């Protein structure tokens, strides 16, 4: 078991034997959902691939409303949601395991890496940005960008995120174009990053660094969940028009 309490601010553990999360505290009504190969096929470069003997063809898992009961009322009153996403290592065909990808306009979202390392890929019609982040680091998804996350490393990746309850998902651009604007392919010990030719126009990819946002309480050493005690700091998630959000 890997104790994630210190880095997450929550009594959760990663079970290395089952590659699953264990929740030890008094949590609210967590809603777990499984992302299967069948669901993910439209977002893949090769949509006829299989994943071998992986149980039930589950690619990754999401836990929504993963907050403590004592914080339930204030989080819901603030119109926010705290989720967890677990992405195992591995490949789907020649692609590294990834999330499907979506837009949720016009609201931002904030992520934190709790375990492993993440490649965050965000895109708009005019820009594609890639950031690598490790444990404790945060990454802001600004309004008007789509995003997905790729696990190119040989270890589990666990993410936490806060987002607005008002946000609606738009998977259309990712589904219609079989993924994000770039694919991350395994090439022996290397990673090939190639353009997705299904898009009419693909901006050149630009690498950026994950950064802190002290004005929002987003600091590497402080767990993202700790903001449940200072939700005013997360006002930008519901009212981005009142803030200048820089990546």
Q: How far is Cα 236 from Cα 108, in angstroms, rounded to an integer?
A: 8
The per-residue pLDDT for 55 is 47
Mean pLDDT for the chain? 94
Local confidence band at 72 (pLDDT 50, 70, 90 cut-offs): very high
The answer as to whether 216 is a domain residue is yes
* Cβ neighbours of residue 73 closer than 8 Å, sequence gap 6 or more: none
Taking Cα atoms as reference points, which of 132, 150, 139, 133 lies closest to residue 109?
139
Contact yes or no for 25/11 (Cβ under 8 A): yes
For the record, the structure tokens of 38 come out as 């069948």
pLDDT at 224 over 50: yes
The answer as to whether 91 is a domain residue is yes
Mean pLDDT within 121-137: 97
Q: What is the CATH number of the domain that holds 214?
A: 2.60.120.10
Q: Count how many domains the chain has.
A: 1
Parallel/antiparallel/unpaired status of strands 128-133 and 205-209: parallel
* Cβ neighbours of residue 67 closer than 8 Å, sequence gap 6 or more: 27, 28, 75, 82, 225, 228
The answer as to whether 228 is a domain residue is yes
The per-residue pLDDT for 47 is 76
Mean pLDDT within 234-238: 97
Q: Which residues pair with 64 in a beta bridge?
A: 31
pLDDT at 159 over 80: yes
pLDDT at 54 over 80: no
* Percentage of the chain modeled with pLDDT above 70: 97
Local confidence band at 229 (pLDDT 50, 70, 90 cut-offs): very high
The answer as to whether 66 is a domain residue is no
The answer as to whether 146 is a domain residue is yes
Which residue has 């901006």 as its token pair? 203
Taking Cα atoms as reference points, which of 112, 114, 132, 113 lies closest to residue 122?
132
The answer as to whether 4 is a domain residue is no
Q: How far is Cα 130 from Cα 121, in angstroms, rounded to an integer?
A: 5
Neighbours of 183 (CB within 10 A): 21
Q: What is the pTM of this model?
A: 0.95
For the record, the structure tokens of 90 come out as 């591995």
Q: Which residues pair with 91 in a beta bridge?
A: 96
Q: How far is Cα 202 from Cα 207, in angstroms, rounded to an integer?
A: 15
Distances from the Cα of 110 to the Cα of 15, 38, 68, 69, 234, angstroms: 25, 28, 19, 22, 9
The per-residue pLDDT for 104 is 84
Taking Cα atoms as reference points, which of 142, 113, 135 lies closest to residue 240?
142
Q: How far is Cα 191 from Cα 31, in angstroms, rounded to an integer?
A: 34
The answer as to whether 233 is a domain residue is yes
The answer as to whether 11 is a domain residue is no
Domain that holds residue 121: 33-60+86-242
For 27-53, the pLDDT digits (tens) are 999 999 999 999 999 999 987 776 655
CA dihedral sign, ordered 231, 28, 3, 114? negative
């Amino acid at each position: 078991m890997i104790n994630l309490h210190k880095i997450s601010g929550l009594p959760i553990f990663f079970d290395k034997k089952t590659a699953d999360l264990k929740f030890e505290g008094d949590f609210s009504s967590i809603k777990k959902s499984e992302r299967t190969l069948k669901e993910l096929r439209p977002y893949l470069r090769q949509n006829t691939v299989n994943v071998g003997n992986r149980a039930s063809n589950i690619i990754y898992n999401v836990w929504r409303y993963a907050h403590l009961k004592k914080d339930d009322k204030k989080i819901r009153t603030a119109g926010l949601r705290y989720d967890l996403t677990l992405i195992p290592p591995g490949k789907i065909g020649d692609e590294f395991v990834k999330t499907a990808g979506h837009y949720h306009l016009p609201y931002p979202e904030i992520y934190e890496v709790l375990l492993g390392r993440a490649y965050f890929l965000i895109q708009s019609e005019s820009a594609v940005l890639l950031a690598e982040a490790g444990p404790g680091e945060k990454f802001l998804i600004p309004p008007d960008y789509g995003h997905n996350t790729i696990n190119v490393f040989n270890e589990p990746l666990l993410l936490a995120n806060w987002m607005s309850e008002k946000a609606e998902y738009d998977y259309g651009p990712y589904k219609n174009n079989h993924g994000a604007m770039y694919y991350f392919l395994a090439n022996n010990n290397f990673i090939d990053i190639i353009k997705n030719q299904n898009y009419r126009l693909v901006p050149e990819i630009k690498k950026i660094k994950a950064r802190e946002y002290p004005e929002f309480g987003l600091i590497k050493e402080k767990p993202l969940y700790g903001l449940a005690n200072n939700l005013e700091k997360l006002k930008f998630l519901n009212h981005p028009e009142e803030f200048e959000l820089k990546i």
